[in-house]
């Protein structure tokens, strides 16, 4: 069993905030894969279902971001999971918008939700780092993450969430490379080839280019040259 945790803040006021991208990921997976409705449990909203061969719990802590670890720790202990069974989906300032990376373990990099989870379950858990970009200055971070995504972000945001859902079964089964590839296929789909292809083997060959030179006209042979003198011509005319 795996525990997927999406980070965010509860309530309609925060629903479209950049900080709530983790909640959005959980909602997308639950909707696409036929999970049961979320219900209140472990100081959060919880649902369960199957992704591929794995049974998976989806959790959205409702303790507010700074206390996320309370909900995660409670759920993990109830189901007798280890921290390595946990994957946390969160916003990442250090990645450009539309970029995503998976990471196992490491520091919290100042993210308050991860800081709280570190305190309750340690640091050995998976993270899906969902890039939202950086506002440029440290003092602008709080206002930036607590504002809604801009209209210009909607295309890449939708692609990222759909890609996460596409690859969720791979992630649940521990194949992080296939998971990352599924996301990349949504964010950067392969471009169709624009090259001109020749005829397939065994097919009908293309018609040859028409000759530009016209064939010689088949007319009567040219008359022989008249070698008579002018005087002879006059005499012959009146004879």
Can 111 be counted among the known catalytic residues?
no
Strand intervals (E) in the chain: 2-6, 39-41, 44-51, 54-61, 86-92, 100-104, 126-131
For strands 44-51 and 54-61, give the pairing: antiparallel
62 vs 36: CA distance, rounded Å: 18
Nearest to 129 by CA among 151, 159, 160, 156: 160
**Which among 19, 90, 111, 118 is annotated as catalytic?**
19
Structure tokens at 27: 């909602």
β-partners of residue 45 are: 40, 60
Which residue is listed with tokens 């308050």?
112
123: DSSP letter:
S
| Residues that are catalytic | 19
């Amino acid at each position: 069993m795996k525990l997927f945790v999406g980070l965010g803040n509860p309530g309609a006021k925060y629903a479209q905030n950049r900080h709530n991208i983790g909640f959005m990921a959980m909602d997308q997976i639950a909707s696409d894969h036929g999970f049961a409705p979320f219900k209140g449990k472990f100081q959060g909203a919880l649902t369960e279902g199957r992704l591929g061969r794995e049974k998976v719990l989806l959790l959205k802590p409702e303790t507010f971001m700074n206390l996320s670890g309370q909900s995660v720790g409670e759920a993990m202990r109830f189901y007798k999971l280890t921290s390595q069974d946990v994957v946390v989906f969160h916003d990442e300032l250090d990645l450009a918008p539309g970029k995503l990376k998976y990471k196992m373990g490491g520091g919290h990099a100042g993210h308050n939700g991860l800081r709280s989870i570190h305190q309750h379950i340690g640091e050995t858990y998976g993270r899906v780092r969902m890039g939202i970009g950086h506002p440029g200055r440290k003092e602008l971070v709080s206002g930036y993450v607590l504002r809604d995504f801009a209209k210009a972000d909607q295309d890449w945001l939708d692609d990222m969430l759909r890609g996460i859902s596409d690859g969720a079964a791979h992630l649940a089964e521990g194949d992080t490379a296939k998971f990352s590839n599924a996301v990349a296929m949504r964010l950067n789909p392969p471009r169709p080839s624009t090259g001109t292809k020749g005829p397939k083997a065994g097919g009908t060959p293309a018609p040859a280019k028409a000759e530009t030179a016209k064939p010689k006209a088949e007319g009567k042979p040219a008359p022989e040259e008249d070698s008579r003198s002018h005087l002879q011509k006059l005499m012959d005319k009146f004879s």
